[in-house]
Structure 1
Amino acid sequence: MTAGVELAVPAWSGSLAADAEHLAAVAGAADQMLAELPVKPARDRDQAARAEEIHRVARQARAAFLAEHVDQVYTELTDGLRRRPRVTELALTAADLFPGLTPTSEQLAEEAELTQAEKEGREIDQGVFLSAVLRSPTAGRHLMESMLMPTTRALDLLDAFTAEGLVELGAVRMERSDGTTQLTVHNAHCLNAEDNELIADMETAVDLVLLDPCTRVGVLRGGVMTHPRYAGRRVFSAGINLKHLHEGRISFTGFLMGRELGYIHKIYRGLLSPGPDTWPHRFTHKPWVAAVDTFAIGGGAQLLLVFDYVLAASDAYFSLPAAQEGIVPGAGSFRMSRHTGARLTRQILLSGSKIWASSAEGRLVFDEVVPAEAMDSALEVVVRRLDSPAVQANRRILHTVEEPFDAFRGYLAEFAFEQALRLYGDDVIAKVGRRAGRSL
């Protein structure tokens, strides 16, 4: 290592151009120092501490720069708020226009080849950036609204789906019948656990439900499993794919931020209309039903909190074991207490308590519980009950009161930073390494 070279957070001038140069110099020096160290798995204790200190100073500089200039930065990244990039594109554009602010595509590509334990943790820098953007009322709202617009993939598929009422999206099958479109998750090899591909498929599917003029109600249900322990049974969701997390295949922007700002928020908030004619509402809302078979674990449990009606088989349960895994349970921490109250929420989030659908606690989340063999017929009744223009109007009002836009924005600002740190916590890496090796 170059003797005597140390990092320091610069004194900011207030000029965006000058301060961007200062930041680039700090980030460049940090990268040079890190390059002089062994790769992460080969570092001894002193070298690991040195790397941690380098990252700490560089990230402190990024956070301070953004505290001074985040709105100006965001304005440049979006061409005066005229462009609406999604989260991943926004973070990559920031690396191009403001060197050192976020990791480059080349740096991220290098990290993508490594396991989670081997990575330098450059996605934390994306977390610093997105946290600052979301904390800004102007930039944060613009980004959130951008993420509520339909994806290009959905727009490309819309005409075919509207005409045929059927589409296969990798891990999600969509089929429309009599005004209801059911999304059936078929990620059977991992008990419908969420991975990067499933998140992308789910957002496309949700977009299509909300765009399709022939769909009035959306339904989400897990498909039939082939796993030996659950063969022939439906499973709602096993949560995040821990094997992929261990292998470094869970994206911070595409998965962890993309699911919260993307398809889950769209189910709750609706789809931002892409055209200029948005009267009488800017957002397209539709009622949603979740049909829960067997279990809804982790991210699956988080999903239940945004649905208008949750139907469950009597032998089903949900749990949020994020604290045991070491990560933050998405927006579950924000939404759960609305359903279960503060004390039970702490038991669920901090202790990973398993809540059975048939229990009194379960009825706080599950609207209706029926025998497993009665799920199909009960689902038909629920859908007919929600297929009403009045339901759409009332859910719009309820959601405005329950979850104000800026309140959710404030939560996501904290979540972006905290989840980025947790993603690379030593305890998380150790836990997911052990849990990923276990069979479900």
Structure 2
Amino acid sequence: MTAPTAHADVVQAWHTTAEPLALAEKQLAALPEPERRTAAQREAADTAKDTARTLRARFLDAHADAVYDHLTEQRQAPLRLAELVAAAALAFPGLVPTDAQLDHERSLPQSGKEGHEIDQGIFLGRILRSPLAGPHLLDSMLRPTPRALELLPEFLRTGRAELGSVTVERSAGAAHLTMCGHDRLNAEDNQQVDDMETAVDLALLDPDVRVGVLRGGEMSHPRYRGKRVFSAGINLKSLHAGDISLVDFLLRRELGYLSKLVRGIRDDQAPAWQPGTVQKPWIAAVDAFAIGGGAQLLFLFDHVIAASDAYLSLPAAQEGIVPGAANFRLTRSVGPRAARQIILQGRRIWAKEPDARLLIDEVADPHDIDAAIERTVHRLSGPAVVPNRRMLNHAEEAPEEFRRYMAEFALQQALRLYSEDVIGKVGRFQEARARATENANADGNGRDSPQ
């Protein structure tokens, strides 16, 4: 079957599916906004959504490869996640939400949304599940971002880039990435994910950089003013406000800069017989704490240095979400029992306790971390480091296993975002923070707890 014929066939197949789906969507649109619905109306909305999502899932189960080929010109166009869902919205109306639907949802708190991102999760999960489309999408996400390519000439000239929530500075063959979300304890949001991927791209694209280093900067947050903090994880304030995106945050983070830390950046100039990615070793230096997404980062680094008073934790189960690919990676580091304690029960791992040695390579006095970083940069600058880390990562995290995990993650995390318990917990968190801020302002000490 020729490509044009195949494309025509999948478009016709979608037209057949789109007719009953449009009826379910019409029934949903006739209901009041989510926060104003009665119990009966919520049940009717759930029924309409279930019908529509079943139709989408069945269509993709049968046609995912044909849909992907249609959108990517037979896998010749390397579309990133956001580009792929935007193209699908145009080519297959109703399969995924439109830009207008998403723009409307972004203006609402999480509790007021319809949950259109779940349809993106269904779509991307089916694409990632495919042995043909999935690897191509993963490969597309390893390409440098347009923002990084635009900033690269200036970075090569000056050795410095200020990206908003992240700064990058080249020094003695190392790219020092500093997270500087100083007022929010480096809690991640959509913008920080974009800044981090740009920073990682610049470090990987610069031929004068041999090693990357990630560390948190000094905080202006009242409790940690003037002190360095690694990361407080996902920004729960942004989550409650509806500003955490499935595609631009939760999936782009995993398939974008986190994957580039492991697999490197796509190099189209490399000869066909050589590895197609540029890889470099990475060092993480943890001051104070690495919570949630901050802890997830550590599983990817070649050397982790932690201050002697620092701790790690993954409270995602308490928050109600899935901690990225931590469920995929943590067991190989600490074993199944400790992994369940950390993920399911929120156990903290302090830098000085014995189990921390499974996650942290070096514990240093807080005043000695700079020296520890310098020593490690020197050790990881040898020419044989990159090929050996490439083989270690290949053995520890086969791309096919990662792809299958992310296919399931795409849907499960989308469902979690719109679950009643997550919406309720985040709302209560915001109320508690507001009360704490009022109390802090009243007594003048300005203290608050980490996210």
TM-score (norm 2): 0.93
Deviations 1:235-288 (A, max 9, x none): 000000000000000011000000000000000111111336455220111000
Q: Give the structure 2 partner of residue 4 of structure 1.
A: none
Q: Give the structure 1 partner of residue 299 of structure 2.
A: 305
Distance in structure 2 (CA, Å) of the matches to 1:138 and 1:436: 43
Q: How does 1:71-220 map to 2 (within 5 A)?
A: 71-220=65-214
Distance in structure 1 (CA, Å) of the matches to 2:270 and 2:260: 19
Q: Give the structure 2 partner of residue 285 of structure 1.
A: 279
Q: How does 1:236-315 map to 2 (within 5 A)?
A: 236-275=230-269, 277=271, 280-315=274-309
Q: Residues 23 and 100 of structure 1 are in contact (CA less than 8 Å); yes or no, is this contact kept in structure 2?
A: no
Distance in structure 2 (CA, Å) of the matches to 1:201 and 1:290: 17
Q: Residue 178 of structure 2: SS of its match in structure 1?
A: strand
Distance in structure 1 (CA, Å) of the matches to 2:264 and 2:331: 22
Structure 2 regions of 5+ residues with no counterpart?
1-7, 434-447
1:403 and 2:397 aligned: yes
Q: Residue 25 of structure 1: SS of its match in structure 2?
A: helix
Distance in structure 1 (CA, Å) of the matches to 2:108 and 2:24: 21
Distance in structure 2 (CA, Å) of the matches to 1:202 and 1:157: 14
Corresponding letter in the other structure for 1:109:
D
Corresponding letter in the other structure for 1:123:
E
Q: Residues 150 and 274 of structure 1 are in contact (CA less than 8 Å); yes or no, is this contact kept in structure 2?
A: no
Corresponding letter in the other structure for 1:261:
L
How far did residue 188 of structure 1 move? Answer: 1.0
Distance in structure 2 (CA, Å) of the matches to 1:200 and 1:27: 34
How far did residue 291 of structure 1 move? Answer: 0.3
Identity of aligned residues (%): 53
Between 1:414-423 and 1:28-37, the stretch displaced more is 28-37
1:389 and 2:383 aligned: yes
Q: Residue 290 of structure 1: SS of its match in structure 2?
A: strand
Following TM superposition, the consecutive aligned residue runs of length 4 or more in structure 1 with deviations greater than 4 angstroms are: none
Q: Residues 23 and 101 of structure 1 are in contact (CA less than 8 Å); yes or no, is this contact kept in structure 2?
A: no
Q: Give the structure 2 partner of residue 223 of structure 1.
A: 217
Root-mean-square deviation (CA, aligned residues, Å) is: 1.2
Distance in structure 2 (CA, Å) of the matches to 1:108 and 1:275: 37
Q: Residue 114 of structure 2: SS of its match in structure 1?
A: coil
Distance in structure 1 (CA, Å) of the matches to 2:41 and 2:121: 24
Deviations 1:154-192 (A, max 9, x none): 111111111111110011111111100100000111100
Corresponding letter in the other structure for 1:23:
T
Corresponding letter in the other structure for 1:355:
I
Q: Give the structure 1 partner of residue 439 of structure 2.
A: none
Deviations 1:355-394 (A, max 9, x none): 1011111111010001111111111111111111111110
Q: Give the structure 1 partner of residue 50 of structure 2.
A: 56
Deviations 1:168-222 (A, max 9, x none): 0011111111100100000111100000000000000000110001100000000
Q: Residues 217 and 287 of structure 1 are in contact (CA less than 8 Å); yes or no, is this contact kept in structure 2?
A: yes
Q: Residue 220 of structure 1: SS of its match in structure 2?
A: strand
Structure 1 regions of 5+ residues with no counterpart?
1-13
Corresponding letter in the other structure for 1:43:
R
Q: Give the structure 1 partner of residue 413 of structure 2.
A: 419
Distance in structure 1 (CA, Å) of the matches to 2:174 and 2:97: 43
How far did residue 19 of structure 1 move? Answer: 2.3
Q: Give the structure 1 partner of residue 21 of structure 2.
A: 27
